[in-house]
Amino acid sequence: MRLRNITGSREMIAASRYVVHEEQNCRGKWQEVFGNGRPIHIEIGMGKGKFIHTMARQHPENNYIGIEKYSSVLLRAVQKMEEEELPNLRFIRMEAEEILHVFAPGEVERIYLNFSDPWPKDRHAHRRLPSRQFLEKYDRILSPRGQLEFKTDNRGLFDFAVEELAPAGWEIRSITYDLHGDAGLMEGNVMTEYEEKFSAMGNPIYKYIIYREK
Which residue of 109, 139, 182, 193 would you call a contact of ligand SAH, by CB under 6 A? 193
State yes or no: residue 66 binds ligand SAH (CB under 6 A).
Answer: no
Which residue of 19, 65, 73, 108 would you call a contact of ligand SAH, by CB under 6 A? 73
**Count of residues touching ligand SAH (by CB under 6 A):** 19
Which residue of 109, 117, 139, 182 would you call a contact of ligand SAH, by CB under 6 A? 117
DSSP conformation class of 5? -
Which residue of 19, 45, 72, 92 would you call a contact of ligand SAH, by CB under 6 A? 45
Distance from C-alpha of 177 to C-alpha of 179, rounded to nearest angstrom: 6
Kindly give, in sequence order, each residue whose CB lies less than 8 Å from that of residue 140, ignoring residues fewer than 6 positions away: 100, 105
State yes or no: residue 68 binds ligand SAH (CB under 6 A).
Answer: yes
What amino acid positions are annotated as catalytic residues? 117
Chain mean position to CA 33: 19
Which residue of 114, 131, 147, 154 would you call a contact of ligand SAH, by CB under 6 A? 114
**No. of helices (H) and no. of strands (E), the chain:** 9, 7
**CB distance 129 to 157 below 8 Å:** no
> Torsion angle of alpha carbons 69, 73, 78, 82, nearest 10°?
180
Measured from the CB of residue 108, what is the shortest distance to ligand SAH in angstroms? 15
State yes or no: residue 69 binds ligand SAH (CB under 6 A).
Answer: yes
3-state secondary structure of 109: strand
Measured from the CB of residue 137, what is the shortest distance to ligand SAH in angstroms? 11
Largest CA-CA distance found in the chain, in angstroms, rounded: 46
Which residue of 130, 192, 207, 212 would you call a contact of ligand SAH, by CB under 6 A? 192
State yes or no: residue 70 binds ligand SAH (CB under 6 A).
Answer: yes
The CA–CA distances, whole Å, from 163 to 59, 105, 138, 203, 209 equal 32, 25, 17, 22, 14
**Interface of this chain with ligand SAH, residues 160 to 179, rule: CB under 6 A:** none
Q: Which is nearer to ligand SAH, 61 or 95 (CB)?
A: 95
Name the site residues for ligand SAH (rule: CB under 6 A).
1, 45-47, 67-70, 73, 95-96, 114-117, 192-195
